[in-house]
């Protein structure tokens, strides 16, 4: 006998379920928060160190081709944007957005992270939004620190199953967590334990009810196996989901779910896309993550609809750029200065922001990397300021402590 509730992503705590999907690398969390007003902000973390010089190609720099004899040789991989810049063909499906002013780039930008070029430290600094690495217990994310400055911001009950939490939205302000492609089967004993927990903990009960409602938007189902095999059946279901995720496009399911919530009261969404660590054969390896990113952005636009899309800003940020010289395996290694990608109907797109630092021998950082000319936190701060009206003083004091935002670059319409 089975009892089916609305939809697949039934989300609950490992303490209640007695199991965890934390070991699965296929589960990518999407984190959301609700707030008043019409503007939306989506932050996509590009994990692995995206090569900004290959994504946004500086053809107008006289040193570009010499530094990248293989990567720059195939000009068929290029989509011309300006007299100076081209775009990797992996983003060619976004060209209509560029022409409409709904796609833009920030060149030669970086977090304050320097020299060690560790993915883990770089991602922590990017999501923490700090100038230095914090102690483990002190780490909070800059999007979470922004939430108290949004009048009327509300909690969505937090239930997460997945490989990792987004540090970006970790902190004191309550937010919601959701992961795609998780089916859970509860035995009769597990179901009874869940019922008892909900009875003895009213807050947990309310949270569970809201989580089930939240999980109901992807059209799938949650099955309670009243007479099943309990834990073994649960793990079989999770393994089946993992296999299905390999064949499918989980990034589109994330985009679908985020778009549906952003059509309602949700105003902020954040998730990650991996696959950017291109140490070898970059001419092939970069195509897949760029295609995923393009599909994600277009799916957000299509599922949101024109009215919501016109109120939306999408920021795509990576932990660091890559070396300006290609290596011996036709790839690039961990670097410093990189590129931020922006999309959405709310941005002033069709342009490249930021100052170009140059690729000449005296221009590079440590004779190997693109020299950053801006702090990536500044662009995020102005996007939040222009989207939600948060005072510059609050952003410089509470969200990005010690940051000097300078004057407005006029990112948004």
pLDDT at 106 over 70: yes
Letter string b/e over residues 265-291, b meaning 16 or more CB atoms within 10 A of that residue's CB? ebbbbbbbbebbbbeeebbebbeebbb
Give the residue-averaged pLDDT of 365-383.
Answer: 98
CB atoms under 10 Å from CB of 222, counted, come to: 22
Q: What's the pLDDT score for residue 5?
A: 33
Give the residue-averaged pLDDT of 33-54.
Answer: 87
Residue appearing with tokens 């100038």: 131
pLDDT at 129 over 80: yes
Confidence category of residue 3, pLDDT binned at 50, 70, 90: very low
31 strand-pairing partners:
177, 270
pLDDT at 71 over 60: yes
Residue appearing with tokens 């006029």: 410
Instruction: Answer for the pair 357, 337: CB distance below 8 angstroms, yes or no.
Output: yes
Q: What's the pLDDT score for residue 99?
A: 98
CA distance 302 to 255: 10
Most confident range, picked from 193-202, 252-261, 377-386: 377-386
Most confident range, picked from 18-22, 229-233, 257-261, 331-335: 331-335
Token pair listed for 318? 């990576």
CATH architecture of 26-181+251-399: 3-Layer(aba) Sandwich (3.40)
Q: Give the percent of the chain with pLDDT over 70.
A: 70
Instruction: Answer for the pair 369, 335: CB distance below 8 angstroms, yes or no.
Output: yes
Between 33-37, 167-171, 292-296, 409-413, the lowest mean confidence (pLDDT) is in 33-37
Query: Regarding predicted confidence, which is higher, 174 or 295?
Result: 295
CA distance 103 to 152: 30
pLDDT at 407 over 50: yes
pLDDT digits (tens, 9 = 90+) for 322-341: 999 999 999 999 999 999 99
pLDDT at 182 over 70: no
Q: What's the pLDDT score for residue 277?
A: 96
Q: What's the pLDDT score for residue 150?
A: 83
pLDDT at 238 over 70: no
Give the residue-averaged pLDDT of 346-368.
Answer: 97
Enumerate residues 6+ apart whose C-beta is below 8 A from 249.
Answer: 292, 295
Enumerate residues 6+ apart whose C-beta is below 8 A from 217.
Answer: 7, 257, 260, 261
pTM listed for this prediction: 0.79
pLDDT at 201 over 90: no
Q: What's the pLDDT score for residue 315?
A: 97
Locate the domains of the chain by residue range: 26-181+251-399
pLDDT at 6 over 50: no
Letter string b/e over residues 353-382, b meaning 16 or more CB atoms within 10 A of that residue's CB? bbebbbbeeeebbeeebbbbbbbbbbbbbb
Give the residue-averaged pLDDT of 261-269.
Answer: 87
Give the residue-averaged pLDDT of 88-110.
Answer: 97
What is the chain's mean pLDDT, rounded?
A: 80
pLDDT at 248 over 90: no
Token pair listed for 356? 């170009």
Between 251-260, 336-345, 401-410, the lowest mean confidence (pLDDT) is in 251-260
Q: What's the pLDDT score for residue 247?
A: 56
pLDDT at 152 over 70: yes
Confidence category of residue 8, pLDDT binned at 50, 70, 90: very low
pLDDT digits (tens, 9 = 90+) for 278-299: 999 999 999 999 999 999 999 9
Give the residue-averaged pLDDT of 56-61.
Answer: 96
CB atoms under 10 Å from CB of 119, counted, come to: 15
Q: What's the pLDDT score for residue 196?
A: 58
Instruction: Answer for the pair 30, 251: CB distance below 8 angstroms, yes or no.
Output: no
């Amino acid at each position: 006998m089975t009892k089916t509730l609305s939809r697949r992503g039934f989300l609950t705590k490992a303490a209640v379920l007695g199991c965890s999907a934390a070991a699965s690398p296929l589960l990518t969390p999407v984190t959301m928060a609700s707030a008043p007003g019409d503007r939306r902000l989506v932050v996509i973390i590009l994990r692995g160190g995206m090569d900004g010089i290959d994504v946004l190609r500086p053809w107008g720099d006289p040193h570009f081709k010499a530094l990248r004899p293989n990567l720059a040789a195939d000009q068929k991989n290029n989509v011309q944007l300006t007299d100076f810049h081209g775009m990797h063909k992996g983003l060619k499906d976004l060209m209509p957005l560029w022409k409409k002013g709904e796609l833009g780039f920030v060149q030669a930008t970086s977090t304050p992270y320097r020299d060690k070029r560790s993915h883990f430290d770089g991602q922590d600094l990017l999501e923490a939004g700090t100038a230095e690495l914090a102690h483990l217990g002190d780490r909070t994310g800059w999007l979470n620190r922004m939430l108290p400055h949004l009048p009327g911001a509300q909690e969505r009950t937090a239930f997460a199953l997945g490989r990792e939490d987004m540090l970006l939205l970790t902190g004191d302000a309550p937010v919601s967590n959701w992961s795609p492609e998780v089916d859970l089967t509860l035995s009769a004993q597990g179901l009874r334990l869940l019922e008892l927990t909900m009875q003895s903990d009213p807050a947990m009960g309310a949270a569970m009810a809201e989580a089930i409602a939240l999980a109901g938007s992807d059209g799938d189902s949650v099955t309670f196996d009243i007479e099943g095999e309990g834990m073994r059946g649960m793990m079989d279901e999770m393994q089946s989901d993992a296999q299905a995720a390999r064949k499918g496009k989980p990034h589109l399911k994330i985009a679908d779910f985020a778009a549906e919530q952003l059509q309602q009261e949700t105003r902020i969404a954040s998730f990650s896309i991996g696959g950017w660590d291109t140490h070898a054969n970059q001419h092939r390896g970069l195509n897949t993550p760029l295609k995923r990113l393009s599909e994600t952005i277009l799916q957000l636009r299509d599922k949101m609809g024109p009215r919501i899309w016109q109120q939306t800003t999408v920021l795509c940020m990576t932990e660091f750029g890559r070396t300006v010289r290609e290596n011996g395996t036709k790839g690039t290694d961990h670097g410093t200065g990189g590129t931020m990608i922006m999309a959405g109907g709310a941005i002033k797109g069709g342009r490249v922001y930021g100052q170009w630092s140059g690729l000449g021998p005296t221009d590079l950082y440590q004779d190997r990397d693109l020299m950053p000319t801006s702090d990536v936190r500044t662009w995020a701060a102005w996007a939040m300021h222009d989207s939600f009206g948060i005072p510059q003083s609050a952003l410089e004091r509470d969200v990005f402590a010690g940051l000097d935002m300078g004057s407005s670059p006029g990112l948004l319409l």
